[in-house]
Chain A
Amino acid sequence: MTKQIKLAAHFPGVNNTTVWSDPASGSQIDFASFEHLARTAERGKFDFIFLAEGLRLREHAGKILDSDVVGRPNTTTVLAALSAVTTHLGLAGTLSSTFNEPYEVARQVASIDHLSGGRAAWNVVTSPDAWTGKNFRRGGFLKREDRYARAEEFLATVRELWDSWAPGTLVGDKENGVFAQPGSFVHSGPQFDIRGEFTLPRTPQGQPIVIQAGDSDEGREFAAKAADVIFSRHGSLEDGQAFFHDVKRRLATYGREYGELLIMPAATFVLGDTEADAQEHAREIRLQQVRPETAIQFLEQVWSRDLSDYDADGPLPEIDPDPDAEPLTWGRVRHEKDQLALAAKWRSVAEEKKLSIRELVIEVTARQQFVGTARTVAEEINSYVQSDAADGFVLVPHLTPTGLDAFVDTVIPHLQELGVFRAGYSGPTLRENLFTTR
């Protein structure tokens, strides 16, 4: 059976993927930017808009990183405001299970679900480090090995709160003076021992959509058990298929159907009038994303050494990474654990292809899997989904806030023509749009 593609729009974030030096680049803070991207995504019948989270400004070599986009607004506040200017688009936000408590997260997400008529989604993440904890009264109290234990119990507790008012308990009988019969909750576990009453009736979705982004074995298991959507980073066809099958096969353990968990990797795209145009445009964007100072910082992140004397257009350093040093970069997700092995791999790639530092960084961080004309990009996205490398994608534009405009205007019509993407929303709630096909 032909699968229907799911699509989300990622608000461009603080990675170097976001090009700020382009004259068309707008504010990453002003509400107008969020409104523009959300309205564009809704015009394109996207499933949801996705906001990442930052809880401390990134630092490099002891100073606030100034070379990438810096700063963002509060996630839930933006989502609530977006509910006023959209009608069908899902509103997904990343909220830490470390620097929040279940009661407040349950309440914020439930409030957004009520305010938006059933369009809220929560991306559950863990943030274990004490460095981020310095902005919070509780500090970095969480041990790394406890991160999923806390996240799992956190989510279970939030779900109990969402369920604590049974359907129909908001009675609203004016005549007889019965407003509501709220339920109560008791949660007693190793992470949380809380009890009382939730402040909101059951929301339009009942259970708002839960997204999970972790990639470790525990993360995959957690998602298979409890999430509706996985936001993954396996962009290539083979990696995507391997990840897809690994996660989907875990669902049966929890009595869940194949289609109950959607896999949506992050993806970037570059469009052109011809293939050659698109390739040329993609190359220009890569050069903007990886400027000489970005390339050196990227290397320093792996080397844990000051490499500022090296020329980004010259060869890689002969010196090895210092695996015992404190990281030079704080606040960025680090996917590679073995620095020495990674450096060795990069050296061999650089020697083989005769690459400078900057060229190597462009090579190893390339994430534009969809480059081409509107038609070929639509066809490629569709072939990824039909061959089970994904259920859809979280598209990450490189420009704020207009980076999705051309995709919506030119690629979406092709996807609709292929019969693999909706021409209209199935219903008012995000759950209906993600899981029902009209």
Chain B
Amino acid sequence: MVSAQLHLGVAIDAAGHHPAAWRVSAAEPAALFTAGHYLTQAKLAEAASLDFVTLDDTLALQPGGVDVVRGRLDALLTLSAIAPVTSGIGLVPTVTTTHTEPFHVSTSVATLDYASRGRAGVLAVPSRSDAEAAHFGRRPAPAEEDAEAENAEVVDVIARLWDSWEDGAIIRDAATGRFIDRDRLHYVDFEGRYFSVKGPSITPRPPQGHPVTVVYDGPHAADVVLTRATDLDGVRAAVARFPSTKVLATVAITLAETAQAAWDRQRALDALIPFEPEGLSFVGAPAQLAAELPKWAAETGVAGFHIRPAVLPDDLELFAGEVVPALRAAGAFRDGYAGTTLREHLGLGAVANQYQGVRA
């Protein structure tokens, strides 16, 4: 039997997913505020032809004491800074939607798509903390239900703005003196529960048409849903809730040549700071993980996994260098990029423009 082809994304936050990672990583703390650190991780992921990297973000400092990483760069700008010097890897920054302007979110993701020539996505996340609300001073932190509903409105309206220019709207017709065909630009006239946007976008439709929209498992769907369920039953339930969406399950990984060595690493990290990751977790040898992932996918129906390496670059190097070749040998993962866009990597296909042919 030919295994299903997995989709694989990888989180490249800070010095790794484990809060003590920065203590043991080869990366210098100051390097976490440079583009080079993230480029190193993205290149490792790209060499293994993974689908995409994610970079987390909020509009507040990470909680915790002096012994954890606090502070981070704007995720979308960081991935934009590595876009021109990568060529295959998808770039999926977290973008918060509660205190930001949907218009700016739409144009910045579209521009990341231009800078990466079709490899942009966006993980849309609401801001629910009081700290973030206090940094803006415009409104209190919203209730969960409102935050999620507004997040869904943002995901909807950013795509409308992407579509507000039809492909080919720029005609440069010197004979008639028209730079654009204005009939192929559209006011989106969006009036939602939480905000309104007139449109059109200032930015023409990006290379992918729609950069890939991603959300965490919640009440609303997008192109991709990331589930942080902690067991296979939970993952199966998430897949059932989103039958027509690519669901990827989060897996925190700690790897070493032997299971014993991997557990030694895990215990050393936990001794510095005890930590229970969200989602599935795996501690062991690369060959074991390569055997587990296709089984988990078969048992739950997930399209793939969102890998969170405990320590960067260590666990990503082992994942890219040993787990991926084993998955390939088993026919469970691509040998290289077949296409050039993130939509192509994920098998999402092109999206029709919702305004195509609509005349004002």
Q: Given A77-B112, A84-B81, A195-B134, A177–B203 Cβ distance below 8 Å? A: no
Distance A108 CA – B74 CA, assembled complex (angstroms): 6
Cβ contact within 8 Å between B71 and A199:
yes
Cβ contact within 8 Å between B177 and A29:
no
What B residues does A69 contact at CB under 8 A? 179
Residue of A whose beta carbon sits closest to that of B23: A174
Q: How many residues of B contact A (CB 8 A)?
A: 73
Cβ contact within 8 Å between B115 and A177:
no
Pick out which of these stretches binds chain B: A49-57, A220-228, A272-280, A364-372.
Answer: A49-57
Would you call A78 an interface residue if the criterion is a C-beta within 8 Å of the partner chain's C-beta atoms?
yes
Q: Given A81-B83, A135-B198, A73–B100 Cβ distance below 8 Å? A: no
Q: Contact partner of A57 among B83, B170, B194, B202, CB < 8 A?
A: B202
What A residues does B204 contact at CB under 8 A? 29, 71
Residue of A whose beta carbon sits closest to that of B84: A84
Distance A85 CA – B84 CA, assembled complex (angstroms): 7
Pick out which of these stretches binds chain A: B180-188, B236-244, B276-284, B310-318.
Answer: B180-188
Distance A214 CA – B203 CA, assembled complex (angstroms): 25
Distance A200 CA – B74 CA, assembled complex (angstroms): 9
Cβ contact within 8 Å between B101 and A100:
yes
Cβ contact within 8 Å between A21 and B72:
no
Cβ contact within 8 Å between B60 and A84:
no
Question: Of residues 45 to 91 in A, which have CB atoms within 8 Å of B's CB atoms?
Answer: 54-57, 63-64, 66-74, 76-78, 80-81, 83-85
Distance A181 CA – B64 CA, assembled complex (angstroms): 11
Distance A22 CA – B200 CA, assembled complex (angstroms): 27
Tell which of B29, B181, B196 has the most Cβ of chain A within 10 Å: B29
Would you call A425 an interface residue if the criterion is a C-beta within 8 Å of the partner chain's C-beta atoms?
no
Distance A393 CA – B177 CA, assembled complex (angstroms): 31
Q: Given A56-B202, A64-B200, A174-B29, A70–B180 Cβ distance below 8 Å? A: yes
Q: Given A67-B178, A177-B272, A54–B29 Cβ distance below 8 Å? A: no
Q: Given A66-B179, A108-B74, A111-B73, A101–B114 Cβ distance below 8 Å? A: no
Residues 86-111 of A, flagged 1 when their CB comes within 8 A of B and 0 if not, give 00000000000001110110011001
What B residues does A83 contact at CB under 8 A? 35, 81
What A residues does B194 contact at CB under 8 A? 137
Q: Contact partner of A177 among B30, B66, B81, B202, CB < 8 A?
A: B66
Distance A173 CA – B83 CA, assembled complex (angstroms): 31
Tell which of A30, A196, A197 has the most Cβ of chain B within 10 Å: A196
Residue of A whose beta carbon sits closest to that of B14: A179
What A residues does B49 contact at CB under 8 A? none
Residues 137-170 of B, flagged 1 when their CB comes within 8 A of A and 0 if not, give 1100000000000000000000000000100001
Would you call B82 an interface residue if the criterion is a C-beta within 8 Å of the partner chain's C-beta atoms?
yes
Distance A67 CA – B108 CA, assembled complex (angstroms): 25
Would you call A112 an interface residue if the criterion is a C-beta within 8 Å of the partner chain's C-beta atoms?
yes
CB distance from A211 to the nearest CB of B (A): 19
Tell which of B61, B77, B83, B117 has the most Cβ of chain A within 10 Å: B77
Would you call B258 an interface residue if the criterion is a C-beta within 8 Å of the partner chain's C-beta atoms?
no
Would you call A134 an interface residue if the criterion is a C-beta within 8 Å of the partner chain's C-beta atoms?
yes
Cβ contact within 8 Å between A81 and B71:
no
Residues of chain B whose beta carbon lies under 8 Å from any beta carbon of chain A: 22-24, 28-30, 33-35, 58-61, 66-74, 76-78, 80-85, 99-104, 107-108, 110-112, 114-115, 117, 131, 134-138, 165, 170, 172, 174, 177-182, 185, 194-200, 202-204, 272
Residues of chain A whose beta carbon lies under 8 Å from any beta carbon of chain B: 20-21, 25, 29-31, 35, 54-57, 63-64, 66-74, 76-78, 80-81, 83-85, 99-101, 103-104, 107-108, 111-112, 114-117, 134-138, 165, 170-172, 174, 177-182, 192-201, 291-294
